[in-house]
Amino acid sequence: MQKTATWCRTIVRISSNKRLFARPNTKTRLMSRLTLFFLIVALLQVHTTARAQTVTISGKDITLKKVFVLIKDQTGFTVFTKADLLKKAKPVTVDVRQMPLRALLDLVLNDQQISYQISNKSIILSRAGEVRTPAPAEQDKQPSSPMFMFQGIVSGEEHALLVGATIKVEGTTRNVLTTPDGSFSVPVAEEEVLQISFVGYTSKQIRITREVVKQMETPLQIALQRATTTLADVTVLSTGYQQLNKERASGSFSKPDMDIFKMRTSSMDVMSRLDGLVAGLSVVAGPNGVQNNTNRIGGGNTTQQAIIRGKSSITLSGNPLYVVNGLPVEDISAINLDDISDITVLKDAVAASIWGARAANGIIVITTKSGKKNAPVKVSYNGFINFAGKPDMDYEKLLTSAQYIQTAKELFNPTQFPYNTLSYAVMAPHEQVLYDQFNGIISKQQADKSLDSLAAIDNKGQIKDIWYRNALTTNHNLSVSAGSAAYSIYGALSYTNTQSNRPGEKDQQFRITINQDVNINKALKIKLNSFLTNQIKSAGNNIAIENKSLPYQLFKDDAGNGIQQNYLRGYSNAVGADYAARSRLDLNFIPFDERRYGHSSSNNLTVNITGEVNCRLFKGLGFTGTYGYQKAPGSAKNYLDHKSFSQRVDALAFTVAPDVNTVPVYYLPVTGGTYFSGNFDQRSWISRNQLVYNATVRDGKDRLNIQIGQEAREQLSLSASTIVRGYDENLQTFAALDYATLSQGVFGTVSSFRSVLNELPFTSLEERTRYNSYFGLLNYFIDEKYGIDASWRTDHSNLIGSDKSSQNKPIWSIGAKWNFSKEKFMQRFSWLNSAAVRATYGITGNSPFVGGTALQDILAIERGQSAPVAGTGVAIISPANRKLNWESTKTTNLGIDLSVLKARLTASIDVYWKNTSDLLGTIPLNPLTGFRTSTGNIGNIRNRGIEITLGSVNVRTKNFEWTSSLTFSYNKNKLVSYSEAFAGFLNNAQSKVGSTYYIGYSMASLFAYRYAGLNNEGDPQVILANGNKSADPAAAQPDDIVYAGTMIPLYNGGLMNAFRYKGFLLNANIVYNLGHVMRRDVNTMYNGRLTGVQGSFTGNVSTYFSDRWKQPGDEMHTDIPRYIAGEFPFFSTRRLEYYTQADRNVVSASYIKLREITLSYSLPQSLLQKCKLDGVRFFVQAGNFMIWKANRFGIDPEYHVLGQGVRNLPPYKHSFSFGSSITF
């Protein structure tokens, strides 16, 4: 439809050469607060020359854009609007002369669904009904400069559009919320300041400068940063019981940088991903820290061990308590990492003690994502592939085949080890050759030829090809969220495929999450979180083989057939032939074929449902009920065919065949296989009821929060397993065994005098733990300056033996906070944004394990013999011990939080004193009582430490930003007292040197002999406390042992750097662990034959062996004791530990690693809009680079058994991954 004006007849000429659109001012400018803007706009030039307020226009089907150009030319009034508003508007045909501006606007905008406002020299257009007009009272305060409509789109992390973000014009009452598409528009004038804020994000301020105005053609893209500890402004803390504003919390809380957490794709373990990100939380990396979860009964998973603020227990688990959506969970591995929206680490008493008797190790509180209210459907995809490859077989220096053969020749000693005494021993191929030569069976030439050919073989290639494959992890996650005013939902599907480095193994995890929020009415809200995890694993009958097999031993021949390794059976070929002939069983051992002869699988499901009811009762008073139920059924199956070597060995031991002519009697089946089937179940529920009272006191100056509640919890673990033999997988039949006979022994079998089968065909276990607790919380905050927090709790548990009276000791905490930057006298320090000091004190507990101790004598059925000859009996497994208590930890914490230079620099420092008393441990009893040890409360541990978290924005320009954050923790602990453990017979040198704790020293301590080098016989000598040297094995006394350090890092943390250039982001994250020690790996071969080990793929030795003492004088240049062929290690005339556990072999375990380096690229918004996407990001990552290590032996301490000095073979050298995340 066209619009024709008849009021004026003058036709306006449109000047064709007029530059309608000006290029934006492209000169890069540093805008202190706006670094992440995409400025892809073309905008109208602003003329401020005053003109008449009448307009003359004439034209047919002219666009509104042209109309406003003319208006501006003629009147100086500039139009401000969203670009698409004008584009979508219908063209108009007008013919007016000297028409007043408002009349013209009414004319052209009529029927356009566009409304306008005129303010000073601005015309602000908006979609009809969209603008909140300023309140009448405010009209007066309108600025003098022209107002215009500022338009923007607010997005959060991963470019998710933020719905309901608040945009406020500072100093006015103008404020709007973002709409479901994240956009907003608000009238502003130059020099005004916009404040954009959203819960959980750092607020942002935008000053409306001339430049901003110039660029106001398209809506401004405003990205908010997730609030983190390093760049926190408004941070929400969750203790699992309540949400706190960090501004007002006195406790010691930390939050990791969730961006790094999310992108750390080298691991799918929550704790590993937190490594270095939280001050005070040290994750024990590598195999040393791999822990099975607390589920003793089975079906569990592994989690990396983490220690919060030092080790404060000797016997109990040092793991923190994991809390998901307010309720504790035992198995953290079931959770989908992509669902985690937030993690809070609770460290001191005020933060943690509400968790009572399980709080002493600190708490890790995880909150999962939920749908947003009033939000459109949003779909996100995240995925990555992580490539880790195969182990580095050269990590440890072992003898090559040539060196090995040479050494074997040197050591060959047929006098010490006569051939005929080795009928029941491993006789490796090279030894057979040497003995054959010695016994005159083959000539020297033949022997040399055979040995030379062995020396020329290297089996590493075959090991890598046959027994390993490249490890690969792929992960996909698809999530959907949406919400209306009354209901919101977040759902996710996730799939993880872990391809381990062992061929044939499968590990797949499927996860579903559905989180819903329902607002039933103003007073009643319900939240329902549920997730389901299914892990399905399977494997063949893999052989455990690493790098220490005999270096010349191949596994398959050129034709691809498996090679026999019968010598690993542990008896001679003659014996083997006799056994085989009598038993009529094939007794050849071909490792290559073994993989086919068995398989195992497991299937574990975890279902977790938690519901929360929030009900407002009276004003300020509410009820919160939290209820959770978790069920984790699992099953495991294992089948080992009779063709497998171990099954044939079993059968042989139960075969009676006195000679080759007798038909063998098989007491165990020799067909089918052994089939194990186990079922596990874990069920736990929790019910928590809280009354919450919130109030503002003194006219809103103070805030008060009081909670009281009760909590009941039960955890039940069940398992049952069966074993059948002679199982046919197809027919599903099995053999009926005479367990009564088998358990009492079969006499005169082929390989044994008497063979006993102590197999339990059926077992079942049940374990139940219950807690009942009461608690209360109080927070009072005065004037936004002074705060007090307090908590109180009692726990009762059925953990048998805890005397009810001793359980009644309440656990409590109290803390105070002073935001001194809010004081008047601080206002002149304008560079100081915020500053607060905190002080807390309180008690936390640590509870004993189930059945760990007893109020009465606990009896248990004696197991082991499936049919005890006298029938079932019970024995006392735990004698009555009535005086046991929770371990109780008193923590004092002082902290300071600072933010300066407009939050460019933030710092948070905590100092703590943590004293644990009533340590639970093993106490020696008077053996005449009938028990040597028992569990008791026996001592005190002290932990002290400092934690520092620093964040800084080093460079911030429009396109480039460099931010750093540093976490640092120092912890020193000491076993202050340990009442009786070291009395009496435990107190000797050997016990002390091997003990990992000792009064007056740190936990995980390492003790050593002072090494005096070798004597001229090649025997190790110790330096005694009186300064004398001795090689006498009985010489060393406890006082001669020296403390060499602790195996727990004294200093640890991380240094994170992020460099952002436009859409590119480079993250480099360093972790460091310093100040701890380890035993280095030393020679382990000191006596006996150089040969293989029965049934195991080991036998090669370290090259250190070559450097041993060989003749007098060698002691001048070597520390490694001599080799003695015929030494019996248990009563040797020397003590090798003087060397192997010498102070000289304790080295620093400090290291710094580049945990990962990640380059990611986010597509620019302009491109995204074309593709109708909200965000697209790609990344590549590489990890595990050693930057520095203190030891010079090439030891990676993460893959080292620190206390024993044993190298573990790292499963991979570096991991590489790439991935993407897409939101639409």
Partner 1 sequence: MLRILYTLLLPLLLISCKKDFLEIVPKGSLIATTVADYELMMNSARFYDYDNGLPTLVLGDEVAAEESYFQNAPIRAQNAFKWEADLYEEKEVAWETDKYLTNLYPCNKIINEVMTATDGTDAAKRLLRAEALATRAWVDFQLVSFYAKPYQATTAATDPGFPRILQSDVSQKTFERGTVQQSYDFIIDDLASAIKDLPVKPLVRTRMSKPAARAILGKVLLFMGRNSEALKQFDSTFNDLAGTANPPALYNYNETFAPGGSFLPIGFFGPNYPGNNPDDFRESLVAKTNNGGSYNGNGFGNDGLVLSPQAVALYSSTDFRRQFYSDTYEDGTPIPGGRVRKYALQYVKTGMQLADLYLLRAEARARTNDLPDAKADLEFLRSNRMPPADAVVPPAIAGNQQALLAFIMEERTREFAMEGYRWFDMRRLSVDPQFSGSIYTHTIYQVSGIPVNYNLPSGRLVLKIPPYIMAANPQMINNP
Residues in 1126-1155 that interact with partner 1 by CB under 8 A:
1128, 1130-1131
Report the C-alpha gap between 869 and 911 in whole angstroms. Answer: 62
524 binds partner 1, rule: CB under 8 A:
yes
The helix or strand, by DSSP H or E, that contains position 1043, with its residue range, turns out to be strand 1041-1046
Among 485, 544, 663, 875, binds partner 1 (CB under 8 A): 875
1049 binds partner 1, rule: CB under 8 A:
no
Residue 624 or 967: the one with the smaller Cβ distance to partner 1 is: 624
Among 315, 530, 991, 1098, binds partner 1 (CB under 8 A): 991
State which of positions 654-673 bind partner 1 (CB under 8 A): 658
R_g over Cα of the chain: 38
State which of positions 259-288 bind partner 1 (CB under 8 A): none
The minimum distance between CB 272 and partner 1, in angstroms, equals 34
The minimum distance between CB 605 and partner 1, in angstroms, equals 23
Residue 933 or 954: the one with the smaller Cβ distance to partner 1 is: 933
872 binds partner 1, rule: CB under 8 A:
yes
Residue 137 or 870: the one with the smaller Cβ distance to partner 1 is: 870
Part in contact with partner 1 (CB under 8 A); list of ranges 403-411, 417-425, 834-842, 1106-1114: 417-425
Among 395, 623, 849, 1043, binds partner 1 (CB under 8 A): 623
**Tokens matching residue 204:** 């942002």
State which of positions 557-596 bind partner 1 (CB under 8 A): none
The minimum distance between CB 611 and partner 1, in angstroms, equals 13
Binding to partner 1 by CB under 8 A, coded x per residue (else -) over 1053-1092, reads ----------------------------------------
Part in contact with partner 1 (CB under 8 A); list of ranges 7-15, 69-77, 116-124, 1125-1133: 1125-1133
Who contacts 1124 (Cβ-Cβ below 8 Å, separation ≥6)?
1086, 1087, 1132
Report the C-alpha gap between 327 and 687 in whole angstroms. Answer: 9
Among 36, 41, 590, 850, binds partner 1 (CB under 8 A): 850
Report the C-alpha gap between 444 and 434 in whole angstroms. Answer: 9
1035 binds partner 1, rule: CB under 8 A:
no
**Among the residues of 525-638, which ranges form H helices?**
573-583, 591-594
Binding to partner 1 by CB under 8 A, coded x per residue (else -) over 906-945, reads ------------------xxxxxxxxx-x-----------
Which residues sit opposite 652 in a β-bridge? none
The minimum distance between CB 615 and partner 1, in angstroms, equals 5
869 binds partner 1, rule: CB under 8 A:
yes
Part in contact with partner 1 (CB under 8 A); list of ranges 154-162, 395-403, 562-570, 979-987: 979-987
**Size of residue set near partner 1 by CB under 8 A:** 78
Q: How many CB atoms lie within 10 A of CB 997?
A: 22
800 binds partner 1, rule: CB under 8 A:
yes
State which of positions 105-134 bind partner 1 (CB under 8 A): none
683 binds partner 1, rule: CB under 8 A:
no
On whether the CB atoms of residues 74 and 52 are closer than 8 A, the answer is: yes
On whether the CB atoms of residues 1084 and 1101 are closer than 8 A, the answer is: yes
**Amino acid code (one letter) for 885:** N
858 binds partner 1, rule: CB under 8 A:
yes
State which of positions 307-366 bind partner 1 (CB under 8 A): none
Who contacts 789 (Cβ-Cβ below 8 Å, separation ≥6)?
249, 250, 251, 350, 777, 778, 779, 813, 814, 815, 816, 817, 840
Report the C-alpha gap between 496 and 390 in whole angstroms. Answer: 20
Ordered DSSP codes for 880-907: B---B--EEEEEEEEEEEEEETTTTEEE
Report the C-alpha gap between 432 and 572 in whole angstroms. Answer: 10
Residue 17 or 805: the one with the smaller Cβ distance to partner 1 is: 805
Residue 709 or 815: the one with the smaller Cβ distance to partner 1 is: 709
628 binds partner 1, rule: CB under 8 A:
no
* Total residues found in the chain within this entry: 1224
Part in contact with partner 1 (CB under 8 A); list of ranges 342-350, 818-826, 833-841, 875-883: 875-883
Among 985, 1026, 1117, 1192, binds partner 1 (CB under 8 A): 985
Among 560, 871, 1027, 1113, binds partner 1 (CB under 8 A): 871
870 binds partner 1, rule: CB under 8 A:
yes
Q: Which long-range contacts link 118-121 to residues 24+ away (Cβ below 8 Å)? A: 118/77, 119/146, 119/147, 119/148, 119/187, 119/189, 120/144, 120/145, 120/146, 120/147, 120/189, 121/48, 121/76, 121/77, 121/78, 121/146
Part in contact with partner 1 (CB under 8 A); list of ranges 142-150, 276-284, 543-551, 852-860: 852-860
Part in contact with partner 1 (CB under 8 A); list of ranges 54-62, 108-116, 848-856, 946-954: 848-856
- Residue written as tokens 């079969």? 746
3-state per-residue secondary structure call for 296-314: CCCCCCEEECEEECCCCCC
State which of positions 72-111 bind partner 1 (CB under 8 A): none
**Among the residues of 631-735, which ranges form H helices?**
645-653
State which of positions 10-29 bind partner 1 (CB under 8 A): none
420 binds partner 1, rule: CB under 8 A:
yes
The helix or strand, by DSSP H or E, that contains position 1138, with its residue range, turns out to be helix 1137-1140
On whether the CB atoms of residues 643 and 598 are closer than 8 A, the answer is: no
797 binds partner 1, rule: CB under 8 A:
yes
Residue 30 or 870: the one with the smaller Cβ distance to partner 1 is: 870
Q: What is the dihedral of CA 821, 823, 825, 827, to 10 degrees?
A: 50
- HSE value, Cβ hemisphere, 13 Å, CA-based, for 375: 25
Among 573, 710, 808, 1084, binds partner 1 (CB under 8 A): 710
- Residue written as tokens 């035992």? 330
On whether the CB atoms of residues 1119 and 1108 are closer than 8 A, the answer is: no
On whether the CB atoms of residues 1070 and 1055 are closer than 8 A, the answer is: yes
873 binds partner 1, rule: CB under 8 A:
yes
Q: Residue 663 to residues 395, 581, 738, 750, 899: CA-CA distances in angstroms?
A: 52, 11, 20, 12, 88
The minimum distance between CB 998 and partner 1, in angstroms, equals 15
Residue 736 or 875: the one with the smaller Cβ distance to partner 1 is: 875
Part in contact with partner 1 (CB under 8 A); list of ranges 91-99, 563-571, 871-879, 1047-1055: 871-879
**Tokens matching residue 206:** 């935008």
772 binds partner 1, rule: CB under 8 A:
yes
Q: Residue 170 to residues 133, 173, 197: CA-CA distances in angstroms?
A: 16, 8, 12
The helix or strand, by DSSP H or E, that contains position 186, with its residue range, turns out to be strand 183-189
720 binds partner 1, rule: CB under 8 A:
no
**Tokens matching residue 978:** 């340990």
Binding to partner 1 by CB under 8 A, coded x per residue (else -) over 686-705, reads -x-x-x--------------
Residue 499 or 684: the one with the smaller Cβ distance to partner 1 is: 684
Residue 478 or 925: the one with the smaller Cβ distance to partner 1 is: 925
Among 22, 983, 1167, 1187, binds partner 1 (CB under 8 A): 983
Among 446, 856, 954, 1133, binds partner 1 (CB under 8 A): 856
The minimum distance between CB 987 and partner 1, in angstroms, equals 8
Q: Residue 1189 to residues 287, 432, 1004, 1072, 1186: CA-CA distances in angstroms?
A: 18, 43, 20, 10, 7
On whether the CB atoms of residues 1093 and 565 are closer than 8 A, the answer is: no
754 binds partner 1, rule: CB under 8 A:
yes
Part in contact with partner 1 (CB under 8 A); list of ranges 748-756, 955-963, 1109-1117, 1182-1190: 748-756
